[in-house]
């Protein structure tokens, strides 16, 4: 007992005698803030803001919302679990903790507001504030937008994690977004044909500013404080000294010159090495120089045929990517793994054809790429395992990088396939650098067997494009016509083959599950929209500095935003 008293006395003496030493009984820790903002057509916003916080000292939680010129805050409601706090018309900051318990209020001083409520008992809590901001939307000279500091820079306790979602039925896919003050991401997402803004932090947060341009959205009201400025004016101000654009003034000319010299030196070395190397190139004959090839090349391997057609340049990347997906789907339909169903959707004055793909069973295949694609289609189809209009398109938008990697995997797998087939050899050679130094490298050499197969692929396209005018006998086997359609889909010429089949073999649809009048057409539409969505999403991710979303900036945000100030517990 005496020992404890001596220890306490020693600590007390240190706190008095040693400047800056603070002995604290407890501390407050703000674990997470979640904000859900619904922007209304009149320009107002309904906000639900939850704080998961551990409180060990103080009497009230408060949030400052300053610089609200042209806007106002009202209708504050605070809840914790099933308990709704009593809203007081006049909030007394100096009241006791017991007097503030389960009570809330707003303190207004001109354009500055404080949202306040009692902490109640000490410990961990999840409080939810719900309030409305009139004229939340800013009206710029060229569009509407938002520019708000949602988590304040001068808070007494910083949140460990922040999540923000902003919804409005008026948002479009072209909505521009920027985020400042935290490490994380911001994106425009889509859900059930509606678009929303989503921001997530990764690590401790300093502040959260969100600047957005609502391209194509028309509101009936809004804050006109900055109506003489364009949205780009706001972007220029907010991104100055941010991670979105490097500040050239901080980068000395010395380093620029040094980098240019190093780049020039590296370019010279690469040029010398490249010129000293014996390049191996693929010999791609012109389509007019090859004979017609009537059999299915590449041993009917869809992936190898796609790869060879790509290397031969027989179609563009998007056409080939859509084509390989369409070809695989048609083969699954042919083999009974999936069923294509035509539906009619009733509109007010008309009927519209829609299509569904039903997944019956997994393909009996050992091909990893095919299994992976089947899994992607099933993910896109949802719990009912029915792939409906636009579902794959939406999935590709959300998962564009997975689809990009899938196509990259095809290239990698087929390069290994070429080696196994004896189409390519990797030969170790020794070369000279700068005509003095020896270095070892590997040359890629394509064999005559590869050249022959390449000629078959090109000759097969030539045959598909022209077989209807070759005065040949009608092909008797339905299976062969189906294979022609599948491989023609990869090349993007299925429509031409369909016309020739319809003319030469009118009974085709009676004997085949691949209906040339709507199944192949709808299949191409399904996958075509998916590939288009994948490329658009990829380009959008690359356009972060143009408001396309992506990683947030740790700094910046400008000064023309609403909100800001302090907050926390006091």
What's the rounded mean pLDDT across residues 464-469? 79
pLDDT digits (tens, 9 = 90+) for 314-339: 999 999 999 999 999 989 988 889 88
Give me the helix-helix angle, 368-381 and 400-420, nearest 10°: 160
Share of the chain above pLDDT 70, in %: 81
Dump pLDDT digits (tens) for 395-406: 888 888 889 999
**Burial environment of residue 14 by CB neighbours within 10 A (0 to 12, 13 to 18, 19 or more):** exposed
Pick the more confident residue, 410 or 255. Answer: 410
Confidence of residue 247 (pLDDT cuts 50, 70, 90): very low
Q: Cα–Cα distance between 38 and 507 in angstroms, integer?
A: 57
Reported as a single tens digit per residue, the pLDDT across 82-118 is 999 999 999 999 999 999 999 999 999 999 999 999 9
The predicted-structure confidence for 157-195, as pLDDT tens digits, reads as follows: 999 999 999 999 999 988 999 999 998 899 999 988 899
Highest mean pLDDT among 12-21, 36-45, 523-532: 36-45
- What's the confidence (pLDDT) of residue 23? 39
Task: Residue 211: name the closest of 247, 237, 248, 250 by CA.
Answer: 237
The answer to whether residues 514 and 478 touch, using CB atoms and an 8 Å cutoff, is no
**Closest alpha carbon to 520 in 472, 553, 547, 484:** 484
Compute the mean pLDDT over every residue in the chain, rounded to the nearest whole number: 84
List the strands of the sheet with 29-39, edge to edge.
Answer: 83-84, 72-80, 123-134, 45-55, 29-39, 161-167, 194-201, 184-191, 550-551
From CA 277, how far away is CA 440, in angstroms rounded? 11
Identify the CA nearest to 186 among candidates 173, 196, 204, 198. Answer: 198
Rounded Cα gap, residues 159 and 121, in angstroms = 20
Half-sphere exposure of residue 526: CA atoms within 13 angstroms, side-chain side: 30
Tokens 């070369």 label which residue? 431
**Could you read off the pLDDT of 557-570 as tens digits, one per residue?**
888 899 999 999 99
| pLDDT at residue 544 tops 80 | no
- Residue keyed to tokens 């095919």: 370
């Amino acid at each position: 007992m005496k020992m404890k008293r001596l220890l306490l006395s020693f600590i007390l003496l240190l706190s008095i005698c040693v400047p800056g030493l603070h002995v604290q009984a407890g501390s407050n820790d703000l674990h997470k803030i979640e904000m859900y903002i619904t922007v209304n057509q009149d320009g107002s916003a309904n906000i639900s803001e939850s704080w998961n916080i551990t409180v060990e000292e103080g009497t009230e939680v408060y949030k400052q919302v300053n610089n609200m010129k042209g806007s106002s805050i009202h209708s504050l409601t605070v809840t914790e679990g099933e308990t709704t706090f009593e809203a007081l018309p006049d909030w007394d900051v100096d009241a006791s903790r017991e007097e503030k318990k389960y009570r809330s209020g707003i303190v207004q001083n001109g354009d500055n507001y404080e949202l306040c409520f009692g902490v109640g008992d000490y410990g961990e809590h999840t409080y939810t504030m719900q309030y409305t901001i009139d004229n939340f939307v800013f009206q710029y000279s060229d569009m509407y937008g938002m520019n708000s500091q949602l988590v304040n820079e001068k808070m007494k306790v910083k949140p460990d994690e922040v999540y923000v979602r902003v919804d409005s039925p008026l948002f479009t896919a072209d909505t521009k977004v920027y985020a400042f003050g935290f490490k994380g991401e911001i994106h425009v997402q889509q859900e059930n044909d509606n678009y929303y803004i989503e921001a997530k932090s990764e690590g401790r947060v300093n502040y959260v500013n969100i600047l957005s341009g609502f391209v194509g959205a028309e509101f009936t009201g809004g804050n006109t404080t900055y109506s003489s400025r364009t949205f780009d004016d706001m972007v220029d101000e907010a991104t100055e000294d941010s991670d979105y654009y490097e500040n050239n003034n901080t980068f000395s000319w010395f380093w620029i010159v040094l980098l240019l010299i190093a780049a020039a030196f590296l370019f010279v070395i690469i040029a010398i090495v490249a010129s000293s190397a014996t390049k191996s190139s693929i010999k791609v004959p012109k389509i007019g120089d090859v004979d017609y090839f009537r059999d299915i090349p590449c041993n009917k391997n869809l992936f190898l045929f796609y790869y060879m057609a790509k290397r031969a340049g027989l179609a563009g990347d998007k056409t080939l990517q859509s084509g390989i997906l369409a070809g695989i789907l048609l083969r699954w339909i042919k083999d009974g793994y999936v069923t294509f169903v035509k539906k009619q959707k009733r509109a007010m004055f008309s009927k519209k054809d829609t299509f569904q793909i039903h997944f019956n069973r997994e393909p009996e295949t050992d091909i990893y790429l095919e299994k992976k694609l089947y899994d992607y289609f099933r993910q896109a189809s949802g719990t009912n395992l029915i792939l409906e209009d636009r579902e794959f398109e939406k999935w590709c938008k959300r998962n564009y990088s997975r689809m990009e990697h899938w196509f990259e995997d095809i290239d990698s797998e087929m390069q290994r396939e070429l080696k196994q087939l004896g189409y390519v050899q990797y030969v170790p050679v020794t070369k000279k650098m700068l005509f003095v130094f020896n270095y070892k490298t590997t040359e890629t050499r394509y064999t005559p067997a590869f050249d022959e197969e390449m000629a078959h692929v090109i000759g097969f396209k030539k045959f598909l494009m022209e077989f209807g005018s070759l005065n040949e006998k009608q092909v008797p086997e339905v299976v062969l016509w189906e294979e022609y359609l599948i491989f023609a889909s990869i090349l993007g010429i299925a429509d031409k083959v369909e016309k020739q089949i319809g003319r030469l073999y009118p009974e085709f649809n009676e004997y085949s599950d691949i209906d040339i009048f709507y199944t192949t057409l709808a299949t191409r539409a399904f996958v075509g929209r998916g590939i288009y969505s994948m490329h658009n999403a990829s380009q959008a991710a690359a356009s972060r500095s143009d408001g396309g979303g992506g990683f947030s900036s740790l700094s910046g945000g400008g000064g023309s935003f609403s909100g800001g100030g302090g907050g926390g517990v006091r």
